Every structure is written in structure tokens, then in C-alpha cells.
Amino acid sequence: MKIKALLILFLSCSQALFSGLNQYEGIWAGASFMSSKIDCYDVIFDPGFTGGAMYGIKWPYGISTEIEGCYRQNHISDIKKGKLSSKHHGHMEIFAGFVNLLYDIPLQTRIIPVVGVGAGWEYERANLRARGLDARREDSAFISQVIGGLYYRYNRCFSFFLTGRYYFFDEDVHSGIVALGLVHHLY
């Protein structure tokens, strides 16, 4: 009985807390660009695919907080060591989750510039196949990102956006994306 009363109290308090806030959800997809150095080898990737989803809350003064999940995949086209090069085949997949803090730059137009930062956890999996070689590598760690983009407020319920993101995984991996997305504003 006490648990039921606490649950009702929690739900009514959370409804009162979040009732005046602008909540939103969104999806995006685009191109992923990556380069990496593993040991003394430079790994060259073809441009790949990325996609993700987010849920956020718009606070007063142009501040937004959101949670985001994303997926990126790039195919390995070459591995180089100095001037030596050998064609390899394989791919790298990355799954990540972030908590982001965004700021809408206030303009009196339907186009809204947005900048932000995020931090989270990333899991990467690489598969490499070459003559007689079948190598797999898995890693996970803290990741951060910087975000920049433009939102176009189509109407009261929907916005479209173009975003660019640069990820900081470790000093040997350079990764960024360019994506288009759709946001649904929940009122």
C-alpha cells in the first residue's frame, strides 16, 4: 500500500514538474566519416552510414537537454604503414549513447542555429578480413562530442534539422558525421 501511495505521489509530482516544459523527440540519418590509427597502422575508411534518435526537453533561455542513441558504420578500404599499403576488407560498427546539452542561438526567424556538447559511452566493433587473416577488435569507453547545426521550424509540431558532430573517442580515432533529421515537438 505504501509503495502504491509513493508511486502515485511520484507520478503526480513529475507531471507537475514537466507539464510546462517543451518536450521533443527526433530521428536523424546521414554520412559518417572516420580515420583511425591502430598500433603503427593507418586505417582508411570509406564514408559510411549513421543514424540515431533522441528525446529532449527545452528549458527556458534556449537551453535543451537530451538523451541520444546512435549507430555508425564505415567500411575499411585500406591499411597503410608508412608507404606500404595493402587492400583489406572489413568494417567498423559503433553504438553510442549520449546526454547532450544544447543552446539555441536566438534569432527572430524560422531558422535557428544550435550549438552543444555531449558525453556518453561508446562500444565499437571492427572486423577485418584479408588474405588468410580474420581479425576482430572490440572496445568501449567514454566518448564526448561537439554539435553544431541549423533547425528549420516548419510548424508548431515539426522541425527539420541539419547537424554536424565531431566525436572524441581517443587520440587515434577521428570521427564526424553530417546528418539530416526530423523533430516532433510534444506539447
Tell me the per-residue pLDDT of 112-142, one tens digit each, with 9 for 90 and over: 999 999 999 999 888 877 655 567 888 898 9
As separate numbers, helices (DSSP H) first and strands (DSSP E) second, the chain gives: 1, 10
Q: What whole-number distance in Å separates Cα of residue 114 and Cα of residue 57? A: 14
Q: Which among 20-24, 74-78, 159-163 has the top mean pLDDT? A: 159-163
Of 166 and 170, the structure prediction assigns the larger pLDDT to 166
Going by DSSP bridges, is the β-strand pair 41-45/48-58 parallel, antiparallel, or unpaired? unpaired
Specify the range with the lowest mean pLDDT, choosing from 19-23, 65-69, 84-88, 140-144: 84-88
- Counting beta carbons within 10 angstroms of the beta carbon of residue 153, is it exposed (0 to 12), middle (13 to 18) or buried (19 or more)? middle
Element holding 13 (H helix, E strand)? helix 2-18
Going along the chain from its start, the domains and CATH numbers come out as 21-186 (2.40.160.20)
Residues 6+ apart with CB under 8 A from 95: 69, 70, 71, 122, 123, 124
CA nearest to 185, candidates 12, 54, 15: 54
Question: H or E element: which one contains 94?
Answer: strand 89-104
State the average pLDDT over residues 91-111: 93
Task: Render the burial of 7-21: b for 16+ CB within 10 Å, e for the rest.
Answer: eeeeeeeeeeeeeee
The pTM (predicted TM-score) of the whole model is 0.80
